[in-house]
Amino acid sequence: MDIKALVSQMTLEEKAGLCSGLDSWHTKPVERLGVPSVMVSDGPHGLRKQDQKGDHLGINDSIKAVCMPAACATAASFDRELLGKLGERIGASCQHEEVAVVLGPAVNIKRSPLCGRNFEYFSEDPYLAGELSAAYINGVQSKDVGTSIKHFAANNQEHRRMSSSSNADERTLREIYLAPFETAVKKAQPWTVMCSYNRINGTYASENPWLLTEVLRGEWGFEGYVMSDWGAVSDRVAGVAAGLDLEMPSSGGVNDKKIVEAVRAGKLDEAVVDRACERILAINYRYLENAKPETPWDQEADHELSAQMAAECMVLLKNDGVLPLSKSDDIAFIGEFAEKPRFQGGGSSHINSFKTTSALDAAGELRVTYARGYDAAGDCATDEMIAEAVAAAKAAKAAVVFAGLPDSYESEGYDRTHMALPACQNRLIEAVAAANPNTVVVLHNGSPVEMPWLDQVKGVLEAYLGGQAAGLAAVRLLFGDANPCGHLPETFPKKLADNPSYLFYGGEGDEVDYREGVFVGYRYYDKKEMDVLFPFGYGLSYTTFACSNLRLSAEKITDRDTLTVTVTVKNTGSRAGKAVVQLYVGDKKSTVKRPVRELKGFEKVALAPGESRDVTFTLDKRAFAYWNAALHDWHVESGEFTVEAGQSSRDIEASATVTVESTVQPPHRYTLDSIFMDIMDDPRAMAALQPVLEGINSMFGAGGGGESEVAKAAISEEMALAMLRYMPLRAVISFGGGAVSPEQLEGLLRLING
């Protein structure tokens, strides 16, 4: 299809019309020219295709589909292959259902455990979120179906989500909040990007030229089209100019008219409208020309796949020898979630599952009894319910409490206000644990919870929101038919107040200041040396692993080279299992505040008992860099970096040091207010200063106080040196006693500035 030729035949009204949706889920057709409309649908962990009467909140039912594990769970897989396979299945279901673009993945950073949509997001870590979303996108798009990576950008709370301004410095945005999008664009080129509702430093994402054009297209090379989140448009004309191609769902023609008027009034270049149309049509035809409605969609097969995937995602948090359970023992399943698991979150990602398998369903022939324990929707547990649960627990060898957050506790549209489980469930767990020493808790939640009973139970399995076959996966793991291999994609703090965003999260009115900067999640807890409940990257298995023998391809590199890191991982236990080898990098000494370590590589490795394998990572400049505001670029400071491998951010088993030399000199213009320290620490400037340094030293009495003991005690050598280092250049006039003229000082400054 010659898209340019097609657009050139369209009237201005037709073009403006094409820049907004027909309804909730379709782009507009241009019938006169035979341009069809295409459909977009929510996901991203299943297909939420609404038939008639679409509404983005899902009030009207969508077609029956397969609910796979949500992103909170799939992130815990630390498995690119799994995300790729998930994407392929979603892509195939879209082909079958004639959906051109699935609205996801959602990759916003989990700034706080409170965000209502954390269950849809991957991680507190941008590297993990970026890598996994890229794998998912590549999977979907391999089926000739598009994705819409969302919500671009800095959309980290639901509270006041359509009006709040996420206020952060550029380094924080670049290193944390934009980074997953950047990785996904560079590695997977999503067909579309969905801009977020919120403003960023005061400007709506939907009309932000820096975000939508300069960074997204100019720097990262995005080639598709940008659509708005549903209702995210404020000033449509500013949006078109900024690079927002498609407004969704529609404005009933109101905003289309504004585009036409702006072009007629000379306020908006028609070429900009043409370009938006070209982008939208290029994607639409990319789907249309490769549409395969005959693609089969075997929902039963996807159900089984979702069970397998969920088992790869669930995280074993605690196991004091209680798991796996024996199939010949009597086991009590307690808690309503054993019967009706909470396996997905509420809102636009809600899937109409064609079936679900609960843990009770999955228990089948096993010797399992059941007590309801609590009423999830009613958020209560009567004394009778607890008594019944205690009796069941007492009669069994082990008790498994299926607990978690009810739907009303976390959802799109609002944030949580605390990190606690329902009080009735905590009460139940404590009562059951008191009745049976072999108590295990299985958690169903999209975000961290406090565990006041942790010391009283022998096992904890974090199931997250594992999709419609979550119960099947949980039973396979509990009874040892599968071996847990999920690792936490986020820190579980001991309490909410420990979270770095605690004082600022939610903001004041519409102003949300990201004052913790780059210290999000483990970047903060590690820097503060704080105890956490469970660290980022943590997860147990029924076997054990060890990482050792970390080797570097070089001891010294420049920031233009790559470094190859090899580490050996061994299954040191007696069962087959999968290890997650994590690679962290940290700058030993830097002029800017940096985290102790940051994830820069991970690999999931299947190992037979006793087997060991070498895992290789390649680190490039970006692994060592931070965002330098003055350079307006990624920058590596020369010096030593730690390279660490382990099985969590707090379980580092092997490490080495590499020296990286920078080939870039950040620009520095010195003034008379610049202090000597900065000049002396800059080798180039120091070279210019050297010839006169001795004179200046003596001027400030460097070398310490005078001859007498009293003078020496008053001004030590260290203090004199410190005084000089913190002295501005202009002080040479103040303290020089006329030895240096202002003209001479200006001359020196010119020399230093080169």
| List of residues contacting ligand BGC (CB under 6 A) | 42, 56, 103, 150, 229-230, 348
- If you count DSSP H runs as helices and E runs as strands, how many of each does the chain have, helices first? 24, 27
Tell me whether residue 59 or residue 271 sits nearer to ligand BGC (CB atom).
Answer: 59
Contacts of 66 (CB under 8 A, 6+ apart): 46, 47, 89, 93, 299, 302, 303, 306, 351, 353, 354, 467, 468
- Asked whether the beta carbons of 281 and 246 are under 8 A apart, the reply is no
Q: Are 333 and 502 in contact (CB under 8 A)?
A: no
Which residue lies nearer to ligand BGC by CB, 28 or 56?
Answer: 56
Q: How far apart are alpha carbons 450 and 318 in whole angstroms?
A: 14
Task: In angstroms, give the least distance from the CB of 230 to ligand BGC.
Answer: 4
Nearest to 398 by CA among 337, 481, 324, 477: 324
| 9: phi then psi, degrees, rounded to nearest 5 | -90, -5
User: Which is nearer to ligand BGC, 22 or 652 (by Cβ)?
Assistant: 22
Angle between helices 299-313 and 80-97 (to 10 degrees): 160
Identity of the residue, 26 or 56, whose beta carbon is nearer to ligand BGC in the bound complex: 56
Supply 543's token pair: 């076997």
Whether 682 is catalytic is no
Please report, in angstroms and rounded to a whole number, the separation of the first and last CA atoms in the chain. Answer: 56
* Residues present in the chain in total: 754
Distance from chain centroid for Cα 312: 19
Q: Whole-number minimum distance, CB 116 to ligand BGC, in Å? A: 11
Q: How far apart are CA 552 and CA 660, in angstroms?
A: 12
**Which of 42/247 has CB closer to ligand BGC?**
42
Distance CA 74, CA 63 (A): 23
| Closer of 230 and 617 to ligand BGC (Cβ) | 230
Q: How far is the CB of 19 from ligand BGC (least distance, A)?
A: 18
Give, in degrees to the nearest 5, the angle at Cα 122 between 400 and 621.
135
**C-beta of 217: minimal distance to ligand BGC in Å?**
22
Report the distance separating Cα 101 and Cα 48, nearest Å.
12
Q: Which is nearer to ligand BGC, 151 or 258 (CB)?
A: 151
* Residues paired with residue 401 on neighbouring β-strands, in sequence order: 334, 441
In terms of DSSP bridges, do strands 331-334 and 368-371 run parallel, antiparallel, or are they unpaired? parallel
- Nearer to ligand BGC (CB atom), residue 75 or residue 103: 103
CB 204, min distance to ligand BGC, A: 14
In terms of Cα–Cα distance, which of 532, 18, 674 is closest to 7? 18
CB of 57 to ligand BGC, least distance (A): 7
Shortest distance in whole angstroms from residue 287 CB to ligand BGC: 18
Residue closer to ligand BGC by CB (options 56, 487) is: 56
- Residue 414 has which token pair? 């609002």
Distances from the Cα of 706 to the Cα of 204, 538, 731, angstroms: 62, 59, 21
Name the phi and psi angles at 82, rounded to 5.
-60, -45
Catalytic entry in 42, 125, 229, 526: 229
User: Which residue's structure tokens are 């259902």?
Assistant: 97
**Rounded least distance, CB 604 to ligand BGC, Å:** 28
Give the 3-state secondary structure percentages of the chain, helix then strand then coil, rounded to 5.
Answer: 35, 20, 45
Closest distance of CB 305 from ligand BGC, Å = 24
Output the six-digit token pair for 363: 């228990």
Query: Active-site residues: which are they?
Result: 229
